[in-house]
């Protein structure tokens, strides 16, 4: 498989993850009406995804190197597809909250695995361009996700966007299954203890700086973003 084809497949995986990530704030007003949610519940619903991804990302980082990249991505992405289906089927706020926690757990690890594959398969001198290609879908999902989610919610109901993402994930899963085996990292991972893995992750100042900056961006964004939709509807007159 060519490097470009591999990156396009990973970009498709990342796009579906980001589409779900971007569409949630757009649907907050609909969720507030359907599930009789107050602003605090809205904030918790959106934040639960991010916190779940953070917690399971730390846990998964100590274990995923024991498995091949391809089967790990298949299982994690399949779990994400199921989580999207659970979101669509949610009959109540607690059920939707649980579904978002599951989505965050699988989604965060899907992104970690996607980036790990790029790091493993692309030479260092081309990794900047490779990550740029994969992460360019963030901008695409930002532009497409909000109007698509609102349009589908208005036409078919709020559940439709989650059905759509779940179906897209299933289609992409079959494409992911065509990836070559990527197991070169396993031998080195088996020689490291749990404590050694934690030390490798948290023992470097550069890693801690990256974690802190990412956390600050997430906190700053989701202190405001979930409430923009309700604010403009209630105070500015948007519909």
DSSP letter for each residue of 176-195: HTTSPP--TTHHHHHTS-HH
The pLDDT, as a whole number, for residue 170 is: 96
CATH number of domain containing 187: 1.20.1250.20
Q: Residue range 66-76: average pLDDT?
A: 88
**Residue 194 banded pLDDT, cuts 50, 70, 90:** low
The pLDDT tens digits of the residues spanning 13-66 come to 999 998 998 888 778 888 888 888 887 888 788 888 888 988 888 787 777 777
The pLDDT, as a whole number, for residue 140 is: 84
Give the Cα separation of 64 and 161 in Å (integer).
30
Give the Cα separation of 162 and 170 in Å (integer).
12
The pLDDT, as a whole number, for residue 103 is: 95
**Residue 180 banded pLDDT, cuts 50, 70, 90:** confident
For residue 125, the enclosing domain spans 3-236
Mean pLDDT comparison of 77-81, 149-153, 183-187, 195-199, highest-scoring range: 77-81
Residue, of 182 and 14, whose pLDDT is higher: 14
Give the Cα separation of 180 and 195 in Å (integer).
31
The pLDDT, as a whole number, for residue 226 is: 64
**Residue 144 banded pLDDT, cuts 50, 70, 90:** confident
Total number of domains in the chain: 1
Q: Residue range 205-233: average pLDDT?
A: 72
| 114 burial type by CB count under 10 A (0-12 exposed, 13-18 middle, 19+ buried) | buried
- Record the tokens describing residue 50, joined without a space: 């991010």
Q: How far is CA 101 from CA 45, 51, 183, in A?
A: 9, 8, 29
The pLDDT tens digits of the residues spanning 103-112 come to 999 998 998 8
Residue 222 predicted with pLDDT over 70: no
Number of neighbouring beta carbons within 10 Å of residue 115: 17
């Amino acid at each position: 498989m060519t490097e470009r084809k591999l990156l396009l497949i990973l970009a498709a995986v990342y796009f579906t993850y980001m589409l779900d990530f971007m569409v949630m704030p757009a649907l907050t007003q609909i969720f507030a009406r359907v599930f009789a949610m107050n602003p605090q519940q809205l904030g918790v619903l959106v934040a639960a995804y991010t916190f779940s991804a953070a917690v399971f990302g730390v846990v998964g980082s100590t274990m995923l190197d024991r498995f091949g990249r391809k089967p790990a991505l298949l299982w994690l992405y399949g779990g994400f597809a199921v989580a999207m289906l659970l979101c669509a089927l949610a009959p109540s706020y607690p059920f939707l909250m649980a579904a978002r926690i599951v989505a965050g757990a699988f989604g965060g690890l899907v992104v970690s695995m996607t980036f790990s594959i790029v790091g493993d398969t692309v030479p260092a001198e081309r990794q900047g361009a490779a990550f740029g290609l994969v992460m360019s879908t963030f901008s695409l999902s930002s532009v497409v996700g909000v109007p698509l989610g609102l349009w589908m919610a208005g036409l078919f109901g709020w559940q439709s966007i989650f059905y759509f993402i779940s179906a897209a994930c299933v289609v992409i899963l079959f494409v992911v299954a065509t990836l070559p085996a990527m197991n070169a990292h396993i031998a080195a991972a088996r020689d490291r203890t749990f404590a050694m893995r934690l030390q490798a992750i948290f023992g470097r100042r550069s890693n801690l700086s990256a974690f802190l900056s990412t956390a600050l961006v997430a906190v700053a964004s989701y202190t405001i973003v979930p409430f923009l939709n309700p604010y403009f509807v209630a105070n500015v007159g948007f519909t």
